[in-house]
Structure 1
């Protein structure tokens, strides 16, 4: 880290690259909503779809595959008839809890700021 850089500041191109990597994985309208749904516990596909207003089955399927590829979601298939598939968070996802909490707090602050002006 640069000499004049405080721990809570983003100072270098390496720091910006790390932020870009995080945004690449989490960006979009649906990914964080899916993760928040799953932070409440394992869910089946239709349960996730019910939690997230406006998401199509096709988009949910696409986003779940991307989250699984990034090791943020695990898919577990049970040997049953009809087949049962559950999605859950991984330990890696749980490391995002403080980030999601901070976004929630900032969202409340932002909404209050905008509504007051």
Structure 2
């Protein structure tokens, strides 16, 4: 617990390094998507290799269901987020944020001197 607590002080972003790497990979995939505004914070995203997806930025959902299942914006969602000139990290689920991580590893587990105690 202590090592994880101290490791998060080295994070450069508001999400962990593994989550940041996934977002960067999805950013590359978003270049193959064409978002079209369908309503307020609602987009229809076309993939250049076929496929249509509905992205709702307010509900943080995509019809491909990747964003719904893991809480990390998929490439379709990131293309819609970029259309609004926003940062995809702000759309990541709260469970991956630094503040939540710090709360999870905040308690201190006190050592026990010997087995009989």
Bigger fraction of residues in strand = 2
Question: Using CA pairs below 8 Å that are at least 6 residues apart, which structure has the higher relative contact order?
Answer: 2
Higher alpha-carbon Rg: 2
Query: Of Structure 1 and Structure 2, which has the larger fraction of its residues in helix?
Result: 1
